[in-house]
Structures are given as C-alpha cells and as structure tokens.
C-alpha cells in the first residue's frame, strides 16, 4: 500500500502542528509532498530561508540535498566566508569576472568605480547592506559633488558586485534593486552644422594634430581609432585606411594600444581628399621629429607586430586623448566658434548629424561610414533633423493628398 502524502506540516485535532521528517540535529526535513515526490530541506550558509530539493524516493531527495550542501561548502570554503566584505567581493569580481568581458580601458574605468565603492562602503559585510544603507550611500556620493551620471555608473558597478554575493548565496537578493537610481542630468551633446565643421577642420590644418581633428569631424572616427592608426594601415594614394586597433587609456598604466570598441569600427574606410593631404603633411613632419630623436624614438608593438604610429608626441610616444581634445578646442577658437561643448566626440556626432539631416543619407549607410555596430546607435547620434521633417511632409502631400497643392495655406 502506497504511503500517504502528508506534506511537511500537519495540524492535529487539538491544534498542535507536527513537522514530518524533521531531523533532530538541524539537518532539515525530509517529507512526502502532496504531488507524490519526496522533499528534503536545507538552509544555505548566510541564508535565513530554507531551500528544497526533490526526489522520486526519500533516499534520492536526501542524496540530492547532500550534493547541494557539498557544492555550497566548496563555494564557501574556496571563495568567500560568511562575512565577506564589499571590498573583497569587488576585488574578486574585477579580477575574475569583469577582466574577461571588457577591454582594458573599460576595465580601468571599472577599477576607478570599485575604488569609490571600496573607499566608502568597502569595509562592510555584504550581508549587512540593506536598501536604506544603499540609499544613504548613493545620497552621500551625490552630496560630495560627484555628477549624477558618475554616481549612476558607480551604482551599476555596485549592483554587479553584489550580484556575486547573490550567486554565492551570501545574500538572498540584491539590495540595489530596491533603491531608485539617481536622476541623471547630462549636458547638451553638441553637433556642428556642416559650415562650422569645415571652418573648424580648416582652422586645425596648421596644428600638429590637425589630421586627428579631420579624422574626427570629417570621417566621424572615435578618437581612440585615430590615435591607434599606423602608417601600415594607410594607402594614401588610394585614399584608404584600415582600422585595426585603438589608442586607449588604462587606469594606473597610461596610454596603450588595444582593440577597437566594437567590430563595426574595424575594416576599410575611404578618406576624403582633405584628410589625405593632412596625413601627408603629418608624415613629413613626423619624419623630421624622428630624425631629431634618433635612437630615442620608441618602437611600438601590438599583438606581436611592430606598429609605426601616425600620431605620436614629439618624442615618439603615444598621444593621449587630452592632447587631441586640446587640439579640437584650439581649432574651434581659431574658427571663431564657442568651444564650450565641443570635444573629440563632437566630431562623430557632427558627421552623423550632417550626413543625415543635411545630406539626407540613409542611416544604415552612415552607420557603416562611421563604424557603428548597429543603426540604432547611429540614430542616437543625430542631434538635428534639419529639413527632413518638412521634406517628408511635402512628399506625403504630393503622394497622398488628393487636393491640389495650390489650395494649401501658405
């Protein structure tokens, strides 16, 4: 005769509650559930709520519980103790998880965020963090003068760190999920009209980094792509450049050669005539600098290959993005433009906006031109629609409106 299922608890006529299959030494309960399967309960280290495993037989449920407890024991002993601090978790996440998912420059950014976390709440055990403590921490960062966007970014990193505490069952849920993110206030992201862009590029022609400015505002490149360009990547007679690498900043290391931001950036780019001439001038000027430096001129390599960088400082070292940004500011000032809000990435927004709003090109063609991975990203760079809405309305009227155009109001 099959054993009658009674569930974990049953209530007697006198109102007393009986827990079926409960072990006397605190190992958890083993009971036959109403669906006919056996359940075995256990409490994970650092957790207050019991968890369950099931089996077709009592022995199978107990065996599965034993396996689960052994797995948890290994995790606890080899990785984190019950009172692991936020700093310990953050360091582990940075080295074991984040390092293998992002570029070196992004890892450097994460390192800076982790430093802020460690310097503020790093000493606290992860299991002690409640939503109210997260809210106070977030508020204190905002009061310290950090920009709301920076605080939001640090908050995202804290969430990723505490997810490791959830995975390793140090905490039951991520407390960051129950705290509203700060309202992010970002400055206007400027883009130039084509006339102003031409004046700026022309004003940069005599600058030592004038060709960088042209690659930003004419070709729509990222500054990292320009700073990673090698002479081996150029065929100036054909007006072609191949993007293979980037010049990136790594926290506490400095400028290094690394991969491009995404696969869309890599590949062949067709250069304008003006950009080609500026690159020819850069090659001539660099030859004189190299001659003056003699043996002191450094050798650069990337993935085992020697790279003759197009853009270097006067001693042959890598150029940092701050130097490129200053070249853009100088060019804007010479061109009579207000330099406020004009930076290296303004060139990319300018190229996209001009080609879309003024030239009327398809967004997919523009995405390929600037090396975006997808069209949605390119669309987000458009700062003005120009005459496109008016032209679209006129086309709709001519194709769909049965009334003659002369009856339309002026």
> Where exactly are the structural domains of the chain?
9-78, 86-178, 194-342
Model confidence over 365-378: pLDDT tens digits? 999 999 888 888 88
Model confidence over 169-203: pLDDT tens digits? 889 999 999 999 999 876 668 999 999 999 999 99
Q: Is the pLDDT of residue 20 over 70?
A: no
Mean pLDDT, to the nearest integer, of 255-275?
86
Q: Is the pLDDT of residue 59 over 50?
A: yes
**Local structure of residue 382 (DSSP, 8 states):** -
pLDDT band of residue 24 (cuts 50, 70, 90) is very low
Model pLDDT, residue 103:
82
Range 361-393 burial, b when 16+ CB lie within 10 A, else e? eebeebbebbbbeeeeebeebbbeebeeeeeee
Model pLDDT, residue 324:
96
Model pLDDT, residue 25:
45
Model pLDDT, residue 303:
92
CATH code of the region 86-178: 1.10.150.130
Q: Is the pLDDT of residue 44 over 80?
A: no
Q: Is the pLDDT of residue 143 over 70?
A: yes
Most confident residue range from 66-80, 185-199, 286-300: 286-300
The dihedral built from the CA positions of residue 106, 108, 111 and 113, taken in this order, carries a sign that is: negative
Instruction: Tell me which H or E stretch contains 246.
Output: strand 246-250
Q: What is the mean pLDDT of the chain?
A: 87
Cα–Cα distance between 104 and 111 in angstroms, integer?
A: 10
pTM to 2 decimals? 0.68
Give 318: exposed, middle or buried? Use CB within 10 Å, 0-12, 13-18, 19+. Answer: buried
In this structure, whether the domain defined by 194-342 belongs to CATH 1.10.443.10 is answered with yes
| Residue 405 falls in which region: left (phi positive, over 0), alpha (psi -120 to 50) or beta | alpha
Tell me the residue length of the chain: 410
Model pLDDT, residue 266:
76
The dihedral built from the CA positions of residue 367, 347, 323 and 230, taken in this order, carries a sign that is: positive
State both tokens at 203. 């004003």
């Amino acid at each position: 005769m099959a054993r009658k299922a009674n569930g974990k608890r049953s209530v007697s006529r006198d109102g007393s509650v009986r827990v079926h299959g409960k072990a006397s030494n605190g190992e958890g309960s083993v009971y036959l559930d109403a669906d006919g399967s056996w359940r075995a309960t256990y409490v994970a280290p650092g957790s207050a709520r019991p968890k369950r495993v099931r089996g077709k037989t009592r022995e199978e449920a107990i065996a599965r519980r034993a396996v689960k407890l052994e797995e948890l024991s290994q995790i606890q002993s080899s990785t984190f103790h019950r009172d692991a601090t936020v700093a310990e978790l953050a360091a582990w996440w940075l080295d074991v998880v984040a390092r293998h998912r992002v570029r070196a420059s992004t890892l450097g950014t994460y390192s800076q965020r982790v430093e802020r976390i460690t310097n503020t709440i790093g000493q606290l055990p992860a299991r002690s963090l409640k939503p109210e403590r997260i809210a106070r921490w977030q508020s204190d960062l905002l009061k310290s003068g950090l920009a709301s966007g920076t605080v939001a970014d640090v908050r995202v990193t804290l969430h990723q760190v505490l997810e490791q505490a959830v995975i390793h069952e140090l905490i039951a849920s991520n407390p960051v999920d129950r705290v509203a993110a700060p309202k992010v206030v970002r400055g206007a992201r400027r883009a130039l009209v084509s006339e102003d862009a031409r004046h700026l590029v022309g004003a940069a022609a005599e600058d030592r980094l004038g060709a960088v400015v042209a690659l930003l505002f004419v070709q729509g490149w990222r500054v990292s792509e320009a700073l990673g360009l090698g002479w081996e990547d150029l065929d100036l007679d054909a007006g072609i450049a191949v993007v293979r690498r980037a010049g990136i900043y790594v926290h506490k290391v400095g400028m290094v050669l690394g991969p491009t931001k995404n696969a869309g950036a890599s590949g062949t780019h067709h250069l304008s005539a003006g950009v080609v001439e500026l690159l020819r001038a850069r090659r001539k000027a660099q030859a004189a600098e190299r001659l003056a430096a003699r043996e002191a001129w450094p050798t650069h390599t990337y993935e085992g290959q020697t790279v003759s960088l197009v853009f270097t400082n006067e001693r042959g070292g890598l150029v940092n993005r701050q130097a490129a940004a200053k070249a853009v500011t100088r060019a804007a000032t010479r061109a009579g433009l207000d330099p406020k809000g004009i930076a290296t990435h303004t060139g990319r927004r300018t190229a996209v906006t001009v080609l879309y709003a003024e030239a009327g090109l398809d967004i997919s063609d523009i995405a390929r031109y600037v090396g975006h991975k997808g069209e949605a990203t390119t669309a987000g760079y458009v700062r003005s629609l120009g005459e496109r809405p008016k032209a679209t309305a006129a086309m709709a009227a001519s194709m769909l409106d049965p009334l003659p155009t002369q009856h339309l109001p002026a």
